[in-house]
Chain A
Amino acid sequence: MLELIVISTLNGILFGMLLFLMASGLTVIFSMLGVLNFAHASFYMLGAFFGFQISRWLGFWPALVIAPLLAGAIGAGVERFGLRRVHKNGHVAELLFTFGLAFVIEEVVQIIWGKSPVDFRVPPLLDFPAFTIFSTNYPAYKMFMLLVSIVIFAGLLIVLKKTRIGLIVQAALTHPHMVGHLGHNVGRIFMLVFGVGTALAAVAGVIAGPALVTQSNMAGLLGPILFVVVVVGGLGSLPGAFVASLLIGLVQTFAVSMNGSLAGAFGPLSPDYASTWLSDIWGVTIAQIAPIMPYLLLVLILIFRPMGLLGTRDT
Chain B
Amino acid sequence: MRKLMTAAAFALPIFGALAMSGGAATAQETLKIGYIDPLSGGGASVGEVGLKTFQFLADELNAKGGIQGKKVEIVPLDNKTNPQESLIQAQKAIDAGVRYITQGNGSAVAGALSDFVTKYNERNPGKEVLFFNYAAVDPVLTNDKCSFWHFRWDANSDIKMEALTNYMKTAPAIKNVYLINQDYSFGQSVRTTARAMLAAKRPDIKIVGDELHPLLKITDFAPYVAKIKASGADTVVTGNWGQDFALLLKAAADAGLKVGWYTYYAGGTGGPTAVKQANLNHQVFAVGEGIPNVDVPGAQAVEKALRAKYDFSLFYPRAVNEMRMLAAAADKAKSIDPVKVAFALEGMEFDVLHGGKGVMRKDDHQFFQPIYIASFGERTEKEPFDEEKTGWGWKLVARIDTPATMLPTTCKMERPN
Contact B269 A288 (CB under 8 A): no
Q: Contacts A11-B223, A252-B223 given; indicate if A136 touches B255 (C-beta within 8 A).
A: yes
Contact with A along B275-303 (1 / 0, CB 8 A): 00100000000000000000000000000
Contact B277 A121 (CB under 8 A): yes
How many Å from the CB of A259 to the closest CB on chain B?
A: 8
**Interface members, chain A 12-71 (any B CB < 8 Å):** 12, 14-15
Contact B217 A291 (CB under 8 A): yes
Q: Contacts A4-B230, A142-B254, A256-B224 given; indicate if A117 touches B1 (C-beta within 8 A).
A: no
Contact with B along A180-224 (1 / 0, CB 8 A): 000000000000000000000000000000011101011011100
B247 at the interface (CB under 8 A from A): yes
- The complex places the Cα of A254 from the Cα of B224 at a distance, in Å, of 10
CB < 8 Å: which of A8, A115, A138, A291 contacts B218? A291
Q: How large is the interface on B (under 10, 10 to 19, 20 to 34, 35 or more residues)?
A: 35 or more
Give the residue name and chain of the B residue nearest to A258 (CB).
Answer: B227
Contact B226 A116 (CB under 8 A): no
- The complex places the Cα of A287 from the Cα of B246 at a distance, in Å, of 20
B219 at the interface (CB under 8 A from A): yes
Say whether chain A's binding surface is mostly helix, strand, loop, or mixed.
helix
A253 at the interface (CB under 8 A from B): yes
How many Å from the CB of B53 to the closest CB on chain A?
A: 15
Contact with A along B213-224 (1 / 0, CB 8 A): 110011110111
How many Å from the CB of A202 to the closest CB on chain B?
A: 17
* B1 proximity list for chain A (CB < 8 A): 110-111
- The complex places the Cα of A152 from the Cα of B335 at a distance, in Å, of 70
B211 at the interface (CB under 8 A from A): yes
How many Å from the CB of B174 to the closest CB on chain A?
A: 20
Contact with A along B174-216 (1 / 0, CB 8 A): 0000000001000000000000000000000000000111100
CB < 8 Å: which of A11, A129, A132 contacts B226? A11
B45 at the interface (CB under 8 A from A): yes
Contact A117 B270 (CB under 8 A): yes
Contact B246 A117 (CB under 8 A): yes
Contact B219 A257 (CB under 8 A): no
B229 at the interface (CB under 8 A from A): yes
* A105 proximity list for chain B (CB < 8 A): none
* B217 proximity list for chain A (CB < 8 A): 221, 291
A77 at the interface (CB under 8 A from B): no
Give the residue name and chain of the B residue nearest to A139 (CB).
Answer: B254
Chain A CB within 10 Å, residue with most, of B1, B222, B257, B270: B222
A1 at the interface (CB under 8 A from B): yes
- The complex places the Cα of A135 from the Cα of B226 at a distance, in Å, of 11
B42 at the interface (CB under 8 A from A): yes
Contact B270 A110 (CB under 8 A): no
A7 at the interface (CB under 8 A from B): yes
**Interface members, chain A 211-240 (any B CB < 8 Å):** 211-213, 215, 217-218, 220-222
* A114 proximity list for chain B (CB < 8 A): 45
How many Å from the CB of B138 to the closest CB on chain A?
A: 19
Contact B256 A137 (CB under 8 A): yes
B85 at the interface (CB under 8 A from A): no
Contact B219 A222 (CB under 8 A): yes
Contact A257 B220 (CB under 8 A): no
How many Å from the CB of A20 to the closest CB on chain B?
A: 15
Contact A288 B277 (CB under 8 A): no
* B230 proximity list for chain A (CB < 8 A): 1, 3-4, 257
- The complex places the Cα of A220 from the Cα of B1 at a distance, in Å, of 20
Contact with A along B310-350 (1 / 0, CB 8 A): 00000000000000000000000000000000000000000
Contact B247 A213 (CB under 8 A): yes
* B48 proximity list for chain A (CB < 8 A): 115
Contact A213 B255 (CB under 8 A): no
* A129 proximity list for chain B (CB < 8 A): 256
- The complex places the Cα of A254 from the Cα of B223 at a distance, in Å, of 8
How many Å from the CB of B212 to the closest CB on chain A?
A: 5
- The complex places the Cα of A188 from the Cα of B223 at a distance, in Å, of 42
B304 at the interface (CB under 8 A from A): no
B2 at the interface (CB under 8 A from A): yes
How many Å from the CB of B315 to the closest CB on chain A?
A: 12
Give the residue name and chain of the A residue nearest to B277 (CB).
Answer: A121
Give the residue name and chain of the B residue nearest to A110 (CB).
Answer: B2
Contact A117 B269 (CB under 8 A): yes
Give the residue name and chain of the B residue nearest to A142 (CB).
Answer: B254
B80 at the interface (CB under 8 A from A): no
* B255 proximity list for chain A (CB < 8 A): 7, 136-139
Contact B223 A8 (CB under 8 A): yes
B273 at the interface (CB under 8 A from A): yes
- The complex places the Cα of A217 from the Cα of B211 at a distance, in Å, of 24
- The complex places the Cα of A7 from the Cα of B225 at a distance, in Å, of 10
B105 at the interface (CB under 8 A from A): no
Chain A residues packing against B (C-beta within 8 Å): 1, 3-4, 7-8, 11-12, 14-15, 107, 110-111, 114-117, 119, 121, 129, 132, 135-139, 141-142, 211-213, 215, 217-218, 220-222, 252-254, 256-257, 287-288, 290-291
28 A-B pairs within 8 Å (CB atoms) are namely: A3-B229, A4-B226, A4-B230, A15-B222, A110-B2, A115-B45, A116-B270, A117-B243, A117-B273, A119-B388, A121-B277, A129-B256, A136-B226, A136-B256, A136-B257, A141-B254, A211-B254, A212-B250, A213-B250, A213-B270, A215-B270, A217-B243, A222-B219, A252-B223, A287-B227, A288-B213, A290-B223, A291-B213
Q: A8-B223, A136-B257, A254-B223 are in contact. List 20 more A-B contacts (CB 8 A).
A: A7-B222, A7-B226, A11-B226, A12-B223, A116-B270, A117-B246, A119-B388, A119-B389, A121-B277, A136-B226, A136-B256, A137-B255, A212-B220, A213-B243, A213-B247, A215-B45, A215-B243, A215-B270, A220-B42, A288-B183
